[in-house]
Amino acid sequence: MELWEKETIINFNYEDATAYIFTYNVRWQSHIEARLGCKPTRDNGHGGKDYEIPKKFLRLPRAPRKLSEETKKRLAQNLAKSRRKLPVTPNTQAVVAKEKRKPTPTMGRRMAT
């Protein structure tokens, strides 16, 4: 099957609270199944699957935000500040300790007993 033939169709009407999706897209399929918890209602045997999902799960497309240079700089500073405030957990301590260790000739190998 050609790539242009592998389509995604989203169908709904004003009366029903259900949306119907047919897709060949594996990413959409895994998102619908794993994140939305919906099971396919039909598998066509060629990679396409039908789903019935609540219409409230659909969102209208949004245009990307246009940020000024000043806003981008402020957001970057806020992100850097919040990263410095991250709590130290045993996992992060272990990663830092591992990075600080100097490799020795026996690291990573078992010692003979």
- The model's pTM is 0.59
For residue 84, the model assigns a pLDDT of 82
Question: Hey, what long-range contacts does 39-47 have (CB within 8 A, 24 or more apart)?
Answer: 46/1, 47/1, 47/6
For residue 103, the model assigns a pLDDT of 58
pLDDT digits (tens, 9 = 90+) for 46-74: 999 999 999 999 999 999 989 999 999 99
More confident residue, 50 or 106: 50
Q: Cα separation of 33 and 36, whole Å?
A: 6
For residue 85, the model assigns a pLDDT of 76
